Structure 1
Amino acid sequence: MQEIKQIYHNNLGTAFYWRKENDIVLDKVQLVFRETGFYFTKQELQLFKRCIEDSYQQNSSCDDCELKNKCHKFLLKTPCLQIDLAVSMDELNAVKDLIEGTLFKINLDEYLYGQGMN
């Protein structure tokens, strides 16, 4: 089994880089939550973040509903055009945290070990 370098995790899932022959493969991020795994570039992660924001806007009419946090009627589009996920509002919040935390950590590492080393 290949080793991984974890980027970020929360109670819903995890994001990590794969290691191949003792090198970290930085061009894509493995994102795993529920029973689903995605292998995304940084740009696809940013697109997924926008899909999440769109889902919040489309489902704002449910704000007064007592069941909105447990209901699985929210469709979350993904950067994979053929795949939409049915999620509850709690899961949508957790996916949002997972994506935003992952992007924050990637950007921080790029700054600290890239342009910030000057």
Structure 2
Amino acid sequence: MLIGNDLLTKVRELGDAGKSEIVRACGYVSTKKDGGERLNFTAFYEALLEAKGVDIGGASVGKGGRKLSYIATVQGNGNLLIGKAYTAMLNLKPGDEFDIKLGRKQIRLVPVGGEDETEE
């Protein structure tokens, strides 16, 4: 997926092309469960706004247009659900693996083979 100046340049190059063609050419495409193609217009438009310097203030939205709370609650069965909206924001795909790092009252997920960055 193109971002920043690369995204703006590509959009300018495509000029009069249709919206779907522009979104596809810029890489904002995913594969549906049935193998079909899904164009990610929202992610494209958010990246385009960011590339143009428009700050939409982290107005991330999940299913049904609700704003994301950035709070996860342990469910009755002990599971801790992150949710599709969050994994989509990070462009995570089924099968991506993470090392679970446990700290005092915290859980950190680090991509397998990735670097463990600690925030101070």
- Bucket of the pairwise TM-score, normalised by the shorter protein: under 0.3
Higher relative contact order (Cα pairs below 8 Å, separated by 6+ residues): 1
Provide the TM-score with structure 1 as the length reference.
0.24
Larger-gyration structure (1/2)? 2
Which is richer in strand?
Answer: 1
Provide the TM-score with structure 2 as the length reference.
0.24
